[in-house]
């Protein structure tokens, strides 16, 4: 039995500016840290090779230090690594790969699949002669021809496993809004007599067919329910036999998107409990809609602030949430007379072009009145 780790879309060097100076650098660092965990897993599982199906780097212009750190992270697994250029790190005439070669940082056990030609990896001790890796490296960011077509006629040694390695969009399988148009025929594994086709570009784990899989990115980087955060262990019994594919959850930071509609006070309390139970390393996008009274909103504010202090990152979008002060709210705030009129006007303006300004003003005014009057939500 020959075993592989299949991974892709590391996006080393990606920056997360929208998360600010506290969380952004930590999320960027996590992309390097997960590579070290992949190396540890490969060593523990004693696999024969690790295949990385493109987009190892997020951009051609990453720093020399980042390049060095990436190759240092591979040292935890001494077996062969095969790195394929993707659309973010295409094998241009001058590229991140040519810089890595000039820096002299590529160790002997790391193979750059920069050319569309078979790469032979012997597998001592296995029942098969070895792995014949058929790579389809991207030499530009976008192409409209199927770079895996040459796999069909590629000659490989008798008794060796035929493994395809590519980065792009399987036709008729993926949504239209993926990162790259680079096409891959849905039946390539069959037409090229592949024992396994390891793919990158789709950031979630996805089975196309028995022999064709996307591993997804090992560390999620967007709010999408596509089962990101895995690597795949691929067990190959022998030439022609169906592979056995096992996902391993390896991500540190789960990305969680929540869209909650709030209509009554108990909805806010339920959401507060949900926020309290989020994993500490979670990256959360919280979108709120509906309407709440001021007291319930104040409790929810506190719950959100506690969650923001506890989880890795929490981004709040409350533009669709309206505040509806009740008589009890106004009494607690002692907001009668002119102040009551101001609150009523702000409440009405939440449905127009100034909705966000009115809602923010209403929250601030309520907070000021509580502080001055000692009121409680």
- Mean pLDDT for the chain? 90
pLDDT at 324: 76
pLDDT of residue 376: 44
List every span in the chain annotated with CATH 3.60.21.10: 2-249
The fraction of the chain above a pLDDT of 90, given in percent, is: 72
Please state, in angstroms and rounded to a whole number, the distance separating the CA atoms of residues 287 and 290: 11
With respect to CATH, is domain 2-249 assigned 3.60.21.10? yes
Could you identify the residue written with the tokens 């952004």?
Answer: 24
**Secondary structure E strands in the chain:** 2-7, 49-52, 81-83, 110-112, 119-122, 130-136, 161-167, 169-170, 183-184, 196-200, 206-209, 212-214, 230-236, 244-249, 255-262, 283-292, 313-323
Of 225, 231, 279, 280, nearest in space to 251 by CA: 231
Smallest CA-to-CA distance from 217 within 255, 272, 271 is with 255
| Average confidence (pLDDT) over 64-73 | 97
Q: Are 323 and 350 in contact (CB under 8 A)?
A: yes
Q: What is the pLDDT of residue 374?
A: 45
- In this prediction, residues 64-89 reach a mean pLDDT of 96
Give per-residue pLDDT as tens, 194-240.
999 999 999 999 999 999 999 999 999 999 989 999 999 999 999 99
The two tokens of residue 144 are 């409209």
Q: Residue 167 in contact with residue 53, Cβ under 8 Å?
A: yes
Say if residue 241's pLDDT is above 50.
yes
Region 78-101 average pLDDT: 96
pLDDT of 173 reads 82
């Amino acid at each position: 039995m020959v075993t592989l780790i299949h991974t892709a879309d590391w996006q080393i060097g990606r920056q997360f500016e929208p998360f600010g100076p506290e969380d952004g650098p930590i999320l960027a660092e996590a992309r390097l840290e997960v590579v070290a965990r992949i190396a540890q897993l490969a060593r523990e599982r004693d696999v024969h090779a690790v295949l990385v199906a493109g987009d190892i780097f997020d951009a051609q212009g990453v720093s020399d230090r980042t390049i060095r750190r990436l190759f240092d992270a591979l040292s935890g697994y001494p077996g062969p690594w095969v790195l394929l250029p993707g659309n973010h790190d295409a094998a241009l005439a001058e590229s991140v790969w040519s810089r890595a070669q000039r820096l002299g940082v590529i160790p002997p056990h790391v193979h750059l699949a920069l050319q569309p030609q078979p790469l032979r990896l012997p597998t001592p001790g296995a029942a098969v002669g070895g792995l014949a890796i058929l790579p389809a490296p991207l030499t530009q960011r976008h192409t409209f021809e199927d770079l895996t077509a040459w796999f069909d006629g590629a000659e490989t040694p008798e008794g060796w496993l035929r493994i395809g390695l590519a980065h792009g969009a399987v036709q008729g399988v993926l949504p239209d809004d993926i990162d790259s148009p680079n096409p891959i025929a849905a039946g390539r594994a069959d037409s090229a007599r592949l024992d396994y086709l390891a793919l990158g570009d789709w950031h979630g784990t996805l089975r196309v067919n028995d022999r064709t899989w996307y591993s997804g990115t090992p560390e999620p980087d967007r709010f999408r329910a596509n089962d990101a955060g895995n690597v795949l262990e691929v067990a190959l019994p022998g030439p022609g036999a169906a592979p056995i594919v096992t996902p391993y959850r390896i991500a540190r930071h789960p990305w969680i998107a929540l869209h909650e509609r709030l209509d009554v006070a108990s909805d806010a309390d339920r959401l507060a409990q949900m926020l309290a139970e989020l994993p500490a390393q979670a990256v959360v996008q919280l979108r709120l809609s509906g309407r709440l009274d001021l007291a319930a909103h104040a409790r929810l504010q506190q719950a959100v602030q506690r969650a923001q202090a506890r989880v890795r990152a929490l981004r709040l979008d409350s533009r669709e949430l309206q505040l509806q002060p009740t008589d009890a709210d106004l009494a607690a705030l002692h907001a009668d007379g002119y102040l009551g009129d101001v609150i009523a006007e702000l409440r009405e303006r939440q449905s127009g072009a100034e909705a966000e300004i009115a809602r923010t003003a209403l929250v601030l005014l309520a907070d000021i009145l509580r502080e001055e009057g000692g009121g409680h939500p």
